[in-house]
Amino acid sequence: ILLIILIWTNFTYSQTIEQYFTGQKSYCNFQNKDDTKLYELGIQGIQLKRYQTSLDLFLKLVKNDSTQCDAYFYAGYTLSLQNSLEEAAAFYYMADSLSKKKSLPFKLNLAKTVAQLGNFKLARKKYQEIVTFFPESPEGYYGIASTAIFIEDFENGLMNINLAFSKYSKNKEKIDEDVYFITALLFTLSGKHELSLRYYGLISDKFSNNDFYRMHYAFSLKKVGKSKEDKKMIKKAYIIYNTIKDKSQLTNDIQLEFIE
């Protein structure tokens, strides 16, 4: 649960996707000028953090036109901002289904939200669709890699995180620490501990208080320390291990590694 929260609440959008949230474009046509005005007011309400007011406006738009995918999306978005994730997912699903232009924001928010709800099968499907329809966007590859931690196809996850790195670089986008975190975890879970340490070393205090981070970082440190007979590394592994607050989350492999 802690990992799910960590991965998808820290998720950042690319500059291209952020442009949609300014309200300067839409994916479905509005029936009249009044609906356009309601749409603009709804987005302004989000910017002013008047989420319930905005939600009411978007729901009115949906009632006026049941095919208005943008209204469905923003209804879902305002619900997600109020932590009503199940309801948000339903509206995102409708927006994605109605969008004939295959909207990247719709698929991405749907995937992110259902992943937070634990539906990794649907999340993976949507991330695969992003890769298919938007192959130059890194988000689909990052999403596949993130879900690989839960679906447990780690090698597939590593392949896709590498593709995400290449897309971030090609698009000249800043690589967020979340990407390094996912990479480090996938290397640990794949038993490639020395490679994982390269990426744990790129992660700041943003993650250091998370038990999932601590247990896997300590595990890889201990494995590499033993293989190199490095006492300092082994000592550091135990220091990190002893900071884990909830050891009920530990896997058998990690528990066995630290039994005195």
pTM, rounded to two decimals = 0.90
Helices and strands in the chain: count of H runs, count of E runs: 16, 0
pLDDT value at position 22? 77
For the stretch 39-64, pLDDT in tens is 999 999 999 999 999 999 999 999 99
Collapsing DSSP to helix, strand or coil, 139 comes out as: helix
Give the C-alpha separation, 93 to 98, whole Å.
9
Phi and psi at 62, nearest 5°, equal -60, -40
pLDDT band at 4 (very low <50, low <70, confident <90, very high): low
Give the C-alpha separation, 202 to 204, whole Å.
7
What is the per-residue DSSP string for 192-213?
-HHHHHHHHTT--HHHHT-HHH
Q: Tell me which of 5 and 235 has the higher pLDDT.
A: 235
Statement: residue 101 has pLDDT above 80: no
- Among 4-13, 74-83, 132-141, the minimum mean pLDDT is found in 4-13
Collapsing DSSP to helix, strand or coil, 70 comes out as: helix
Spatial contact of 162 and 180, defined as CB atoms under 8 Å apart:
no
Across 77-106, average pLDDT = 94
Phi and psi at 21, nearest 5°, equal -75, -5
For the stretch 181-225, pLDDT in tens is 999 999 999 999 999 999 999 987 778 788 889 999 999 999 999
Residue type, 122: L
Statement: residue 1 has pLDDT above 60: no
For the stretch 108-121, pLDDT in tens is 999 999 999 999 99
Across 86-93, average pLDDT = 98
Nearest to 193 by CA among 174, 170, 216, 209: 216
Angle in degrees, 0-180, between the axes of helices 211-228 and 193-200, rounded to the nearest 10:
130
pLDDT value at position 10? 55
